[in-house]
Amino acid sequence: MRLFFILIAILIISNVNSQDLKQHRWENRVVLIVAQDEDSRAYQEQITKFNSLPKELKERKIIVYQVLPDRYKLMNCQLKGEKNEWITSPIIFDDFAKKGEEFKVILMGLDGGIKLEKTEVLTTTELFGTIDAMPMRRAEMKNKNK
């Protein structure tokens, strides 16, 4: 009986954590910066690139998650006065990291599908170019200009 309750608790916790990404579907594009080590040069460089362009990220409805093996969080530049704390969970890392990969950046579209995946630092030019070429983004830009 005890094992049953432990399994139920694990399933509930897993479902709650996976909901973090699902909550953005049809509202935001999600970028995951995934690394084995917080001190990784590529990881730190990618965070710096994105932190320098909060307006451009917001304009394209981009939410960025920093993902490490045992925890994840939203990037600091995307929170308005809220305390940005790490959520302890390996779920997102386990879902997206592949064995032997030190670093990865993943772009998920509004539909939740993976649109771009790189194992090196993603330039903002490539990220924004990929997004701006998407049909939904083109419609957003067209409606904005009306």
Sheet holding 103-108, edge to edge: 87-88, 71-74, 62-68, 29-35, 103-108, 114-118
Residue 5 pLDDT > 70: no
Residues 6+ apart with CB under 8 A from 128: 56, 60
Separation between Cα atoms, residue 10 and residue 14, nearest integer Å: 6
Q: What global pTM score does this model have?
A: 0.81
pLDDT in tens, 54-76: 999 999 999 999 999 999 999 86
Instruction: Find the helix packing angle between 124-132 and 135-144, rounded to 10°.
Output: 80
pLDDT in tens, 94-144: 999 998 899 999 999 999 999 999 999 999 999 999 999 988 887 887 887
